[in-house]
Amino acid sequence: MRPWRLAFAGPGLALCLALAQPAARAAIQVTDGRGVQVELPAPPQRIVSLLPSLTETVCALGGCQRLVGVDRYSNWPAHVKTLPVVGGGIDPNIEAIVALKPDLVLVSMASRSVARLQALGLKVVALEPRTHADAQAVLRTVGQLLDLPPEQGADRVWAAIEARMQKVERSMAPALRGQTVYFEVNRGPFAAGESSFIGETLARLGMRNIVGAQLGPFPRINPEFVVRADPDFILGGDRSLGTSGEPYPGWGRMRAMQAGRVCRFEPAELDVLVRAGPRMAEGAALMARCLNRAAR
């Protein structure tokens, strides 16, 4: 275009150019698990996740390609195994995280790195689901961060979880209703109490947890406590319970041990069971399958 033509077209051309520009993305504001409001100028495109359940939640909402780094325990879906590992959730490698230039870092509530990450100018959102309601709330928060309408994001994923959970509930043998159960999360022993998401799942399956809500979601207990309670079924990972024999002295006296009503889960299965995220219904199916089989 010749210069004189541009001069005469000035105001109109400026208006056309302005209209042709893409609309600025609205800022994203969420309240995290600490009750802290976090604002991002735009939906994050480079996310580091330092908790496996949060990694899985991002991916379930279609945001896997936005992940640029994960903690050492994040291993699902398969795509995340190709990403840089930046240490553990509690003790991440700060330098490695900064080098990835994330516009958002997702951490657990127990992380000791929040203050340092924020001091380095990074946006940090702390979330840690411990109950079914927490898991649903985390889905919604991550959906907000990804700038997804609820019906396309959190609501859709939660509806699928709930539908499968109801199907698993219907699969339970009627004879199992009201039977007592102990679930060991980790060696210690650390148990899944009634108030944990695992405890809530067991309750939906009709089981009665020997670890009451008053003890907290994941309390460390005395092995003798389990012996005295003498549950009908024992569940846990084979790293904790072992592949055979007594996991702790005196446990051989319990009815569950003597009758073989023990569900020992492999590491990959335990990963599903102990993460309050999009695979919770899959975890319920694992428990139901083993309980139904052990009850025969």
| Co-location of 99 and 207 in the same domain | no
Note the pLDDT of residue 28.
96
Note the pLDDT of residue 17.
42
Q: What CA–CA distance (Å, rounded) separates 131 from 202? A: 12
| Co-location of 196 and 287 in the same domain | yes
Beta bridge pairs of residue 279: none
Note the pLDDT of residue 24.
54
Q: Which pair of structure tokens corresponds to residue 89?
A: 């959730």
| Co-location of 43 and 147 in the same domain | yes
Q: Where are the beta strands (DSSP E) in 17-79?
A: 28-31, 37-40, 47-49, 67-70
| Residue 5 resides in a domain | no
CA 247 to chain centre: 28
Note the pLDDT of residue 21.
47
Amino acid at the residue 94: I
In which domain, by residue range, is 32 found? 28-151
Note the pLDDT of residue 244.
83
Phi, psi (5° rounding) for residue 78? -55, -35
CATH of residue 278: 3.40.50.1980
> Exposed/middle/buried for 190, CB within 10 Å: 0-12, 13-18, 19+?
middle
pLDDT tens digit sequence for 49-83: 999 999 999 999 999 999 999 999 999 999 999 99
Which ranges of the chain have pLDDT less than 50?
A: 1-23
- Tally the domains of the chain: 2
Note the pLDDT of residue 65.
97
Cross-sheet strand order for the sheet of 104-107: 67-70, 47-49, 104-107, 124-126
Q: Model pTM?
A: 0.89
| Residue 12 resides in a domain | no
| Residue 20 resides in a domain | no
Is residue 145 within 8 Å of 27, Cβ to Cβ?
no
Is residue 185 within 8 Å of 200, Cβ to Cβ?
no
Note the pLDDT of residue 294.
86
Q: What CA–CA distance (Å, rounded) separates 90 from 71? A: 9
Note the pLDDT of residue 34.
94
| Co-location of 109 and 216 in the same domain | no
| Residue 275 resides in a domain | yes
Note the pLDDT of residue 210.
98
Note the pLDDT of residue 245.
84
Note the pLDDT of residue 273.
98
Q: Cis peptide leading into 92, omega within 30 of 0?
A: no
| Co-location of 108 and 179 in the same domain | no
Q: What CA–CA distance (Å, rounded) separates 288 from 232? A: 14
Amino acid at the residue 292: N
Q: Which of 200, 209, 214 is nearest to 229 (CA)?
A: 209
Q: What CA–CA distance (Å, rounded) separates 261 from 290? A: 9
